[in-house]
Amino acid sequence: MRRTLMSSLCLLLCAAAALAAEPPSLKSLAPPGLRIGAAINRTQTNGNDPIAAAIVILQFDTVTAENDLKWERIHPEPERFDFEPADRYVDFGTTNGMFVVGHALLWHQQTPAWVFAGEGGKKLDRETLLARLRTHIATVVGRYKGRIGGWDVVNEALEEDGTLRKTPWLEAIGEDYVAKAFEFAREADPAAELYYNDYNLWKPAKRDAAIRLVQGLKARGLRVDGIGEQAHWGVDDPPLEAIDAALAALRASGTTPLITELDMDVLPRDPDMWGADLAKKARIRAATNVYPDGLPPAVQERLARLYADCFALFLKHGAGRVTFWGVTDATTWLHDFPIPGRVNYPLLWDHAGREKPALAAVAEVLRNNVRR
């Protein structure tokens, strides 16, 4: 009897020691009001990437679908919805007690051509496109009502100078297409949070335009819960001062700043990268794929410091959520963007799923509540 008691006690102590040795997760270190998460794909919810799935469950309290809720995936043809991967995504998030984010209802990319085609060969008109948008939003948001907690309703509606992007949405519907999307989303799930999401909001002209856009929506009585800065940043740019100023401005405008797609490109950037033709891309790839065999320790350290500095700014400005765009370096989209076929290292876990110094650096900032 005594022996059994002793061995149970021993087991208990061993388990407690093992738990204590496990470093605390990012979600447990984050202050109240800050959710930390990652974008995931079907490989993490169908068992094909157990390493990343385990990290997500251990570390994060929110997830975003990297691709499976985009129009081309979930609604590829007018009368056909493919809900299966999205259902699995939502089940994964809710089963693990996470805040589940929907990305994205209206975008000019990853939207099938039929959405922008006029009826019977005619030019696309406002009523047709509005009807398609309403059906899409009602069906997708309606299906996950009460389970998807927040939606990126409109993604990337702004040009760099702050004017509305010239897309088929704008051309066919007119400027109120943004308001219409928010109206339809509200109708479909009145309890869900609704966001405007864009990149480069650290640039003042674009940031101010996003703030004006959202204030305009609110003035119409529409629900908007946050402005998301995607935060596809790099080790050379943007400057921390620009991030600081942008988050301050977002906060001052009365919306919670959200960091929705965070990653840090470690490869050199070239101003010609974005619109380059194939031959030019090949040249840029050769010149900028500088770490094909591993990240040098000095760059690893630089990445860690940068992540730490950014998190201190997120804490300072009361960000409501920080979502990494991916989990481990193995599957980051930055291997193929903006130039395909390079090796990149933008996240907190390496290609094998091992912790990088940047993880410890972020954990440290959260643990000590550093506010830059």
83 binds ligand XIL (CB under 6 A): no
Question: Among 87, 82, 56, which Cα is nearest to 71's?
Answer: 82
Given the residues 156, 183, 193, 229, select the one marked as catalytic: 156
66 binds ligand XIL (CB under 6 A): yes
- Nearer to ligand XIL by C-beta: 178 or 315? 178
Residue among 45, 128, 155, 328 that touches ligand XIL (CB under 6 A): 155
| CB contact at 8 A, 238 and 232 | no
- Nearer to ligand XIL by C-beta: 226 or 357? 226
Please, what is the minimum distance in Å from the beta carbon of residue 201 to ligand XIL?
Answer: 12
Please, what is the minimum distance in Å from the beta carbon of residue 104 to ligand XIL?
Answer: 6
| CB contact at 8 A, 259 and 319 | yes
Please, what is the minimum distance in Å from the beta carbon of residue 109 to ligand XIL?
Answer: 7
DSSP state letters, 91-135: HHHHHTTPEEEEEEEE-SSS--GGGGSPGGGSPP-HHHHHHHHHH
| CB contact at 8 A, 39 and 323 | yes
156 is catalytic: yes
State the number of CA atoms in the 13 A half-sphere of 41 facing the CB: 14
* Residue 27: burial class (beta carbons within 10 Å; 0-12, 13-18, 19+): middle
67 binds ligand XIL (CB under 6 A): yes
Q: What's the Cα-to-Cα distance from 97 to each of 24, 100, 205, rounded to whole Å?
A: 18, 9, 38
333 binds ligand XIL (CB under 6 A): yes
Residue type (1 letter), 141: V
- Per-residue binding letters, 231-270, with ligand XIL (x by CB under 6 A): ------------------------------x---------
344 binds ligand XIL (CB under 6 A): no
Please, what is the minimum distance in Å from the beta carbon of residue 354 to ligand XIL?
Answer: 22
DSSP 8-state symbol, 204: H
Given the residues 66, 193, 229, 261, select the one marked as catalytic: 261
261 is catalytic: yes
230 binds ligand XIL (CB under 6 A): yes
Q: Which two tokens stand for residue 2?
A: 């005594």
* Dihedral sign for Cα atoms in the order 265, 271, 277, 281: negative
Please, what is the minimum distance in Å from the beta carbon of residue 39 to ligand XIL?
Answer: 7
81 binds ligand XIL (CB under 6 A): no
Active site residues: 156, 261
Enumerate binding residues for ligand XIL (CB under 6 A). Answer: 66-67, 155, 230, 261, 333
